Chains A and B, each alone.
Chain A
Amino acid sequence: MMPEQGVPMIELSGLTKRYGTGQTVLDSVSLTISKGEFVSFIGPSGCGKSTALKLISGLAVPTAGTISVDGMTPKNAREIISFIFQDATLLPWRTVQQNVGLGLELEGMVDKRRREKTSQLLELVGLKHMANAYPRELSGGMKMRVSIARALATSPRLLLMDEPFAALDEMSRDRLNEELLRLRDEQKWTAVFVTHSVAEAVFLSTRIVVLAPNPGRIHVVLPIELPLPRTAALRDTPEFEARVMQVSHALRAALLQ
């Protein structure tokens, strides 16, 4: 069931990032993420979670160490990667449908096929009725759905998410977590997810990487062996509670280290 030791999607080895000021954000991080995994990075501020995503996507360059994404350099792997940012990063002058089609448009897909594809995706995230609305007419949760639809439009095999639901209320966040898992079960992409929320990380992940700060490094990697597919009911089980406790303890230990 769990793709524990499968084909590697991401291989990080001795990954180090230092800024010009001499501050070390990430210190020799080594980790292999297999295809089909859903891995969350969790940790206090300053542990380099977001930096790790930037490095994997090639938006930042490591000071030392190597990154391989599906056997490619991060920049060459961009065709198979989609990035979901903390804010929805929609273009306010475009309608919902035009926003969803942005990636396809930049890749040069023709209008007609793009409209079909974006309509499908809007249906998938339950926003078909908002296709011609502008972002300012949407709630925070809806905007995030558009952002997810846009990321999935290019059929990525790796989804990088940087605290995508941090600004949402808990109800919307829970619903979007459930939808995200449903989409993953259908589309089988690999995911790296950065979050502050332990419950969110446990619910979504097959593995959780707990990072320690100053300098950012891996404290412990915890497999989350809860059954798949997961539904909202999982949150009420004692197994889920136990996992949340375990991760919270690890997080506290990482802080004290």
Chain B
Amino acid sequence: MRQRLSTLADALGVFAALLVLWQLILWIFHIPQYMLPSPWAVARAVGLRFPSLLAALAITAVESGAGLIASIVAGVIVALFFAQSRWVRRMLYPYTILLQTVPIVAIAPLILMWVGAGAPAVALIAFIISLAPIIANTTQGLVSVEENLVHLFLMHNATPGQLLFKLRLPHAIPSLFVGIRIASGISVIGAITGELYAGSSSVGGGGLGYSILYASSQLQTDYLFALVLAATVLGFSFFFLVMFLEWYFLHRWHESALKMEVE
């Protein structure tokens, strides 16, 4: 506990130093507020526009959360299918990589065209961008079961269903969490990118991405910074929520979760 507190103190120290540096740069180079607002101005913007900031944050959280959860459900189903045969994997795995490499900025206008602007389109974009790491990691976990464990099940005349749900799936849970951890970060990025294109038009109603676009067009740089801060907080929250769930489900039996506990 003491060590955790000192780690926290270190992090806060670095943060304070960055704020000082930021302020110094403003003074030394005489940078105008609309280019780079002072830390104080950003804090004031957070305070003054807290309700709309919170509303934008909530919308982005729901959109990226929905996309993430959908990608977990769909990703696990796809991975279960991939685990059935090497042949299926060889045929279809390249398309997973395609999913990962397609620039989301390029397909966002298409999705907008097909689904129309609004939260569903944004959630869909977050879903697409989160899917690949879930599929890849879960598939890896499903197929990397030790041969002797498979033999053990075969010696007890296990059915294919028993092999899948009593051996491969539980074995893949730690890998699934690795995938979710990666996906949790990029689902937020996906949602904000999506909102740049597909956020609805009412101010604050379009989530963080839309608000960022709006604030930048109005040269409200202090509010823009506040929005970026909110996006970071959202990403962090997702990450820590996933870390907590991982610890909660795995700490009793899994080594990596155990290590996390010690750190």
Residues of A within 8 A of B (CB): 57, 59, 78-79, 81-83, 85-87, 89, 91-94, 102-103, 105-107, 134-136, 154
Q: Would B253 and A135 count as touching, CB distance under 8 A?
A: yes
Q: Would A106 and B252 count as touching, CB distance under 8 A?
A: no
Q: Would A78 and B155 count as touching, CB distance under 8 A?
A: yes
- Shortest beta-carbon distance from A61 to chain B in Å: 13
Q: Would A89 and B146 count as touching, CB distance under 8 A?
A: yes
Interface members, chain B 131-151 (any A CB < 8 Å):
146, 148-149, 151
7 A-B Cβ contacts within 8 A? A57-B151, A59-B151, A78-B157, A79-B157, A89-B146, A93-B171, A106-B166
- Shortest beta-carbon distance from B189 to chain A in Å: 32
- Known A89-B149, A102-B156; further 13 A-B contacts with Cβ < 8 A: A78-B155, A78-B157, A81-B155, A85-B151, A85-B152, A86-B148, A89-B152, A92-B253, A92-B254, A135-B253, A136-B253, A136-B255, A136-B258
Q: Would A83 and B146 count as touching, CB distance under 8 A?
A: no
Number of B residues with CB within 8 Å of any CB on chain A = 22
Chain B residue with the shortest CB-CB distance to A86? B148
Contact of B7 with A by CB under 8 A: no
Q: What's the Cα separation between A94 and B252 when bound, in Å?
A: 10
- Shortest beta-carbon distance from B176 to chain A in Å: 13
Chain A residue with the shortest CB-CB distance to B149? A89
Q: What's the Cα separation between A83 and B167 when bound, in Å?
A: 17
- Given the contacts A91-B167, A93-B173, A106-B162, A83 and B152 also touching, CB distance less than 8 Å: yes
Q: What's the Cα separation between A135 and B258 when bound, in Å?
A: 13
Q: What's the Cα separation between A222 and B149 when bound, in Å?
A: 33
Which residues from chain A contact B166 at a C-beta distance below 8 Å? 105-106
Chain B residue with the shortest CB-CB distance to A89? B148
Chain A residue with the shortest CB-CB distance to B152? A89
Q: Would B157 and A87 count as touching, CB distance under 8 A?
A: no
- Shortest beta-carbon distance from A78 to chain B in Å: 6
Q: Would B149 and A134 count as touching, CB distance under 8 A?
A: no
Contact of B97 with A by CB under 8 A: no
Which residues from chain B contact A103 at a C-beta distance below 8 Å? 156
Task: Please tell me which one of the listed residues B148, B158, B173, B255 contacts residue A106 in the complex, with CB atoms under 8 A apart.
Answer: B158
Which residues from chain A contact B171 at a C-beta distance below 8 Å? 93
Q: What's the Cα separation between A28 and B167 when bound, in Å?
A: 36
- Shortest beta-carbon distance from A93 to chain B in Å: 5
Which residues from chain A contact B255 at a C-beta distance below 8 Å? 136
Chain A residue with the shortest CB-CB distance to B167? A91
Q: Would B155 and A57 count as touching, CB distance under 8 A?
A: yes
- Given the contacts A89-B146, A89-B149, A136-B258, A59 and B155 also touching, CB distance less than 8 Å: yes
Nearest 9 A/B pairs, CB to CB: A106-B156, A134-B253, A85-B148, A103-B156, A83-B155, A93-B170, A92-B253, A89-B148, A93-B253
Q: What's the Cα separation between A94 and B149 when bound, in Å?
A: 13
Q: Would B151 and A91 count as touching, CB distance under 8 A?
A: no
Chain B residue with the shortest CB-CB distance to A147? B152
Q: What's the Cα separation between A91 and B252 when bound, in Å?
A: 13
Which residues from chain A contact B158 at a C-beta distance below 8 Å? 106
Which residues from chain B contact A81 at a C-beta distance below 8 Å? 155
- Given the contacts A91-B167, A93-B170, A106-B157, A83 and B151 also touching, CB distance less than 8 Å: yes
